[in-house]
Amino acid sequence: MTPAATDPADVLVRPVRFRDLDFLHAIAQAKDTAGGNDPDRQLEQMRRWFGPLKVLRWFPNPAQHALCISVAEQDDRAVGAIHVAPFNKQSSTWRVERVCVSPDANLGDVGSVLLRHCLETIWEARTWVLEVDVSDQQELGLYRRNGFQPLAQLTYWAIASEPLAQIAQNQPRLPNLLPAGNADAQLLYQLDTVSMPPLLRQVFDRHIDDFRTNILQAISRRVRQWFGNVEFVRGYVFEPQRKAAIGYFQLALCRDGSHAHAADLTVHPAYTWLYPELIAQMAQVAQTAPPQSLQLVSADYQPEREAYFEQLAAERIAHALLMSRSVWHKLREAKPAPALDRLQLSGMLQGLQPRRTPIPSRLPWLRTAFAQRLLGGSSRMQGSCQDGNDRVEPATNHPCNRPPSS
């Protein structure tokens, strides 16, 4: 049964509160029933760190936008929520993580109110990106209705633990495999730039700082490693002749076996032969953790990667559509204060206006200053003549010294 239409004027959007976590858990479970994703782990972490994350939103820090969640409320009842986060460190591109609406509310109306609230209030965002399941026609219609356009098609793959153990038996031929650090940010930025189409590069708007890890991010990773049983392993392949990075991977290992391992893989388009070598390297690292599947992602502009995953008999677990839209914020003209509007300034200043039109004339102060300077120069000349007892004879032949004629 389709929910009734919702009047956007009746929906109030506010920041998330601690009492909303149960509502978020309920609608997240209802949404992820078909997909098989378990939201309990993320919401449990949010419940544990809700107080500190709420305080960190008030001043600039790497975790300032970790709890950027807005809730839609109608008749004092929560009917939807949206979670957004910056996509890059410059916060020029933001990502819509999730839009959830209660089953008895209209997704198109409540979802549009939530999206428009984020588009209008987050002024630093110039571009928005999101991922949506291609089989979810309602969400696709919601995002298209709000101006999002397709950018790329993504496919999520899973390599089971048994094939992964067989791949780990192959010895990777990577003589220039180096650990990735902050000193390699320039190389990783160049690799990321060349590995994607120009349109994606413009939308993502990544810079060198996006590939550096500051102190707070390093501490956050340590905390996740201790409490979340997640270990991060990073490495890249260096080409000495070109003095460039041609391959990079980041592996998130699950140490307690509660969920699958996840990997982020970037390969230079001219060195696609690195796919078997990097997969073998990650498979060997994954053998140090409990046996779990390895999840990776490929895009439609990476046919060599998809062909290699099909050769490995990897399972396609999800298909997503990457969408984006730009935002242009209008500068609103500031209206004058109401008190100044009521003042009749023209009537008050009427008595200060001149009675007649001024007539331009010579400047009297300039003529006075010139006369004083001339008299001062002649007095100094007379004083110097009296001190030297010299007599200055006037020149009778000068036109100024001639006696006036009768």
DSSP line for 19-88: GGHHHHHHHHHHHSTTT----HHHHHHHHHTHHHHHHHTTS-STTTTTT-EEEEESSSSEEEEEEEEESS
Contact in structure between 282 and 249 (CB atoms under 8 Å):
yes
Return the closest-CA partner of residue 247 out of 215, 205, 280, 206: 280
Domain extents in the chain = 1-147, 151-328
In terms of C-beta density within 10 A (0-12 exposed, 13-18 middle, 19 or more buried), how is residue 113 classed?
buried
The pLDDT score that the predictor gives to residue 220 is: 72
Decide if 1-147 and 151-328 have a common fold: yes
Q: pTM, whole model, 2 decimals?
A: 0.76
Query: How much is the pLDDT for 346?
Result: 61
Contact in structure between 321 and 140 (CB atoms under 8 Å)? yes
Give per-residue burial for 331-346: e unless 16+ CB within 10 Å, then b.
eeeeeeeeeeeeeeee
Q: What is the pLDDT of residue 186?
A: 96
Distance from C-alpha of 216 to C-alpha of 253, rounded to nearest angstrom = 21
Backbone angles phi, psi at 366, to 5 degrees: -70, -40
Task: Please report the pLDDT score of residue 35 as a whole number.
Answer: 41
Give the tens place of pLDDT for each residue, 225-268. Answer: 776 688 899 999 999 999 999 999 999 999 888 889 999 999 99
* DSSP β-bridge partners for residue 234: 250
User: What SS3 class is residue 12?
Assistant: strand
Segments of the chain scoring below 70 in pLDDT: 1-2, 4, 30-41, 224, 227-228, 329-355, 358, 360-406
- How far apart are the C-alpha atoms of 64 and 355, rounded to whole Å? 63
Beta-carbon neighbour count of residue 279 at 10 Å?
A: 25
Q: Report the candidate in 120, 144, 140, 124 with the shortest Cα–Cα distance to residue 132.
A: 140
What's domain 1-147's architecture? Answer: 3-Layer(aba) Sandwich (3.40)
Query: What is the number of residues in the chain?
Result: 406
- What's the rounded Cα separation, in Å, for the pair 291 and 282? 13
pLDDT for 2 equals 63
Arch. (CATH architecture) of 151-328: 3-Layer(aba) Sandwich (3.40)
